[in-house]
Amino acid sequence: MNPELDRLQPYPFQKLAGLFADTPPADVPRIAFSIGEPKHPTPAFIREALLEHLHSLAVYPTTQGGGVLREAISDWLTRRFDLPAGAVDPERHVLPVNGTREALFAFAQTLVARDGRGLVFMPNPFYQIYEGAALLAGAEPYYLACEADNGFLPDFEHVPAADWDRCQLLYLCSPGNPTGAVMDEAALIKLIGLAERHDFVIASDECYSEIYPHETAPPAGLLGACVRTGNTAFERCVVFHSLSKRSNAPGLRSGFVAGDAAILKRFLQYRTYQGGAMPPPTQAASAAAWRDEDHVRENRARYRAKFDAVLDILSPVMSVGRPDGGFYLWPETPIDDTEFARLLHARENVVVLPGRYLSRPTSNGNPGANRIRMALVAPLEECIEGAQRIRRLIESL
């Protein structure tokens, strides 16, 4: 067996199952804020496109994906991040993938040199795939604390130059999971300069980029920052996007990777062996989704309504703020986060994820301690009911 498997930590939801020894009240329906699985309906036109192309199941798909899908992705990137026409070549700069979870993991296996010195930087707290990808690629995870005094963004300022020199890959998540923090374009440009100076690659997980509070202020993206800083070849920069959150289609398992053509060429080579080709009906449905923005605006409106209602209930009793992006709340808890989650389940049958399950301890403490992650993915009425139960628990403590 691969000995690196022994270094993997239990997934957060495995830990959560072990936390709940008490039976919740049977007369209170369960409300789950723990898993970031969108519950809004998948738009009908996406389902119809999938069905209309079932005949294409008789054809082997290519790992690179079809031209129709890659062009739809290229056009979307150009519109969304205000890129010059032709800046994203569908043939060279875009690679469809079967969900970004798979791609984020596989990317480290492609990129990391197994020389025993490599570091893979990642935010802390983080999406645990980053850590597992680093470990199984033979690198060491390097945790960048995301704390309130730095706007919940990774603390790049205090990284020693010697550690930057050992960095091979930096996972970035903006908007952040679980914090909802967004890096502005100026910060992204500064990070691109660090990548050039120390010769590492930025893998920007932008899967929550299409959920944000103000229609006139979408989050910045790494490719846009590249163009604005003169890096029109996107050197050392790769972005990951998904239809799971944007289009409420987590079961479609559809996303893409875009950016540096030389890196994507090698990533395509890796994935050709891995066997990660996207089925043709999925490609057709995905192309339709990337070409439509109406359903995405409607999706944001639903999340705004839930944030408005839940924050109105919780703000008087706990320290919680509206995130700059994504659909998570990252509030402070009045007691230890694991104990709070345990009591909330035992007394109110509401499930949240303790913050320390998403983070790793540092010399300055655990940046996830005394926080919980709440995914506002359930229907509005259920989110309101869940928030009321959380408030009731807090007021009883």
Average pLDDT for 201-205: 98
CA distance between the termini of the chain: 48
Per the structure block, which two tokens stand in for 354?
């303790």
**Mean pLDDT computed over 159-177:** 97
- Rounded to whole angstroms, the Cα distance separating 388 from 347 reads 13
Q: Which helix (H) or strand (E) holds 77?
A: helix 67-80
Q: Above 90 in pLDDT, residue 323?
A: yes
The confidence score (pLDDT) of residue 23 equals 87
SS3 120: strand
Q: Please give the domain boundaries of the chain with CATH numbers for all domains.
A: 3-41+295-396 (3.90.1150.10), 58-292 (3.40.640.10)
203, 107 Cβ separation under 8 angstroms: yes
Contacts of 10 (CB under 8 A, 6+ apart): none
Interval 248-274: pLDDT, tens: 999 999 999 999 999 999 999 999 998
Residue closest to 256 by CA, chosen among 110, 101, 90, 99: 99
pLDDT of 205 reads 98
pLDDT at 380: 98
Helix or strand (DSSP H, E) at 373:
strand 372-375
pLDDT tens column, 304-322? 999 999 999 999 999 999 9
Q: What is the pLDDT of residue 148?
A: 95
In the prediction, which pLDDT does 160 show? 96
Q: What is each CA distance from 308 to 241, 276, 314, in whole angstroms?
A: 26, 40, 10
pLDDT of residue 116: 82
Rounded to whole angstroms, the Cα distance separating 246 from 252 reads 12
Residue 238 pLDDT > 90, yes or no? yes
Mean pLDDT of 181-194: 98
Tokens for 68, please give them.
Answer: 């129709």
Stated pTM of the model: 0.97
Q: What DSSP string describes 152-197?
A: TSB--TT--HHHHHHEEEEEEESS-TTT-----HHHHHHHHHHHHH
Q: How confident is the model at residue 364 (pLDDT cuts 50, 70, 90)?
A: confident
pLDDT at 276: 82
pLDDT by residue (tens digit) across 76-117? 999 999 999 999 999 999 999 999 999 999 999 999 998 888
Which residues, including other chains, have CB under 8 Å from residue 15's CB and lie 6 or more apart? 354, 357
Cα dist from 275 to 5, 97, 271, whole Å: 22, 11, 6
**pLDDT at residue 341, rounded to an integer:** 98
pLDDT given for residue 78 in this prediction: 98
Q: DSSP 3-state assignment of 61?
A: coil
User: How would residue 198 be classed by pLDDT, with cut points 50, 70 and 90?
Assistant: very high
Task: Look at residue 75 in the predicted model and tell me its pLDDT.
Answer: 98
pLDDT band (50, 70, 90) for residue 21: confident
Whole-number percent of the chain with pLDDT over 90 = 93
The tokens describing 35, both together, are: 């898993």
The predicted model gives 55-78 an average pLDDT of 96
Average pLDDT, the chain: 96
